[in-house]
Amino acid sequence: MAAAARTLRIGLIPGDGIGREVIPAGRRILESLPSSLNLNFSFVDLEAGYDTFKATGTALPDKTVDILKKECDGALFGAVSSPSTKVAGYSSPIVALRKKLDLYANVRPVKTTAGSSNGNPIDLVIVRENTEDLYVKEEQTKETPEGKVAEAIKRISERASSRISTIAGEIALRRQNIRTAAPGTSNRTSPMVTITHKSNVLSQTDGLFRETARKALAAQKFSSVHVEEQIVDSMVYKLFRQPEYYDVIVAPNLYGDILSDGAAALVGSLGLVPSANVGDGFAIGEPCHGSAPDIEGKGIANPIATLRSVALMLEFLGEENAAAKIYAAVDGNLDDAKFLSPDMGGEATTEEVLNDVLKRL
């Protein structure tokens, strides 16, 4: 008997700038997945962003949050413009969404394709804890006889360290399945997680992160995952010298933030790098780039970061076969290099890149 088809409801939040050009591409690839996957999608258009703020006085309307919570299985978020000077009342809607939906993990894969890279292809993912560490923003400034002194709290909890490490282990296992489902997209043969910390200096905070991560990854279900650890400064060195070494990197918030942007610089264009904001049972796919005002409205934004974000969202919704198909189609487009957008040195429009990827599905 054929398995019943599954229908996933996806919230679409284009946001600002090229978000409005790439999110429709994300919708199209979901609609174009082969019917053999037995997957259907329904969509709901949702508002958020700086333009929404200018029009309504809030960057993240309650309605958007309500619908995501009540109706949706996952979502795609385009981009928000950040005003260059502080605007009273405005704060980032994606930061607020992470809080309201408890999306505690930020996941950023960085990949070069086998065909297009000179050396070994890079295929790693950074899993960043997204709720604590120095970013709890508990800072204070004191006046002392020697002048001002500012301090900040670095908070690391067992609970947050454990759940982020568990997600990292699950991602490592799933990546292995995707490599099997889409052969040729990677050279790696077995899963690995690298725990990142600075516990040689911060023995209590980073010490707790390290110890908790070790414990979480020692679970029976991760027995096939090779677990190692690395001090964050030496990791930066190795990440730039030998990026192909890494598979899954798990890190507390601050190191994860810095490593994520650094690693994104290892690939040709921001237009290639996806991300996902993940909580228990919910994921928002989000291209790493911003609203790119310099190319807005020209129809040349690279949709690949969004297409990969769609695949990443699907992974977290338990649809790794569908994700593997998208990854393979995107890699095929990049390897073939006939339809590349201008940021990649080509001349193809958003639509032409998308159509080439869809043809490969």
Which residues of this protein are in contact with ligand ATP, per CB under 6 A? Answer: 17-18, 79, 81-82, 270-271, 289-295, 301-302, 305, 341, 343
- When asked if residue 261 is in the footprint of Mg ion (CB under 5 A), the reply is no
In this complex, which beta carbon is closest to Mg ion, that of residue 16 or of residue 356? 16
Cβ 311 to ligand ATP, closest distance in Å? 16
The residue type found at 171 is I
Q: Are 301 and 20 in contact (CB under 8 A)?
A: no
In this complex, which beta carbon is closest to ligand ATP, that of residue 17 or of residue 243? 17
- When asked if residue 318 is in the footprint of Mg ion (CB under 5 A), the reply is no
Cβ 25 to ligand ATP, closest distance in Å? 10
Angle at 76 between CA 349 and CA 194, to 5 degrees: 100
* Widest distance between CA atoms in the chain: 79
Cβ 101 to ligand ATP, closest distance in Å? 22
Position of minimal CB gap to Mg ion: 290
Give, as ranges, the residues between 120 and 179 that touch Mg ion (CB under 5 A): none
In this complex, which beta carbon is closest to ligand ATP, that of residue 56 or of residue 82? 82
Q: Are 80 and 97 in contact (CB under 8 A)?
A: no
Q: Are 34 and 325 in contact (CB under 8 A)?
A: yes
Strands 276-279 and 105-111: antiparallel
- When asked if residue 290 is in the footprint of Mg ion (CB under 5 A), the reply is yes
Q: Are 195 and 227 in contact (CB under 8 A)?
A: yes
Q: Which stretch binds Mg ion (CB under 5 A): 25-33, 34-42, 175-183, 285-293?
A: 285-293
Among the listed residues 283, 259, 282, 260, the one whose alpha carbon sits nearest the alpha carbon of residue 273: 260
Total residues contacting Mg ion (rule CB under 5 A)? Answer: 1
Q: Which residues bind Mg ion (CB under 5 A)?
A: 290
